[in-house]
Amino acid sequence: MLNGMYGGSNKSGKRIEVVDLDTGNIASVQKMLARIGLQSAMVRSPDQLTGDHPVLLPGVGHFTRAALSLDSSGLRGRLNAVHAAHCPVLGICLGAQLMSHTSEEGNGEGLGWLPTTVRRFPVHGLDGALLRVPHMAWQPFCPPTGTLPFELSSGRMYFTHSYYIDPAPLGSGSVCESEFGGVRFTSVARIGNAIGAQFHPEKSHRHGMAFLTSWAVWADRILGTR
């Protein structure tokens, strides 16, 4: 619980604006937000995305379908506007991948905030062994000190994905990396106030709760100083 800042009474009027691109996983995200005392509002159209609250861009599914939904809903331009205005945005899994330019999953165009490409895991790892894709595993999460804009203890997060954000073009923007079959991938990327997490905090129990709580407190502080 966030010391009442996002408590059930919602006295501060703060909430998390959860973007729905018809890609699934929305219910589990909102359930986890409620569990840690965060109120949320579903966003399906540009006029619902105010930019006055932290934005969460979740998703499970196909990159191209989600990219097309950005256009058909009119949310692409609005998301770009709130990002340019330094509103805190958290992308989860597919939501994080949508922050890149393109994906090998299809021809859809991402938001382009992260100067990189989303790639498919190869058939074989660097040791020649067959990789079982999708990558589904609990893995250690130990962000180097100072790489995230909020404090977070080491733990473990749950991953499930067949595609990954290529860390090579990101440089310091790839703030935390993980490995599958010897293939390095970005587990957390950051550009300005936008953060992309390849793992699923809503499925990562207490470690995911700590991540979302720390992000929400930081995001609230950022919005209060804009």
Active site residues per annotation: 93, 200, 202
Helix axes 205-225, 26-35, angle to 10 degrees: 80
8 Å CB contact between 59 and 25 = yes
Cα(194)–Cα(139) distance, integer angstroms: 23
| Euclidean distance between CA atoms 123 and 90, whole angstroms | 30
Cis peptide leading into residue 134 (ω within 30°): yes
Tell me which residue of 136, 60, 76, 64 sits closest to 105, measured CA to CA. Answer: 64
Sign (positive/negative) of CA torsion 74, 192, 102, 178?
A: negative
Q: Positive or negative CA dihedral for 34, 36, 41, 44?
A: negative
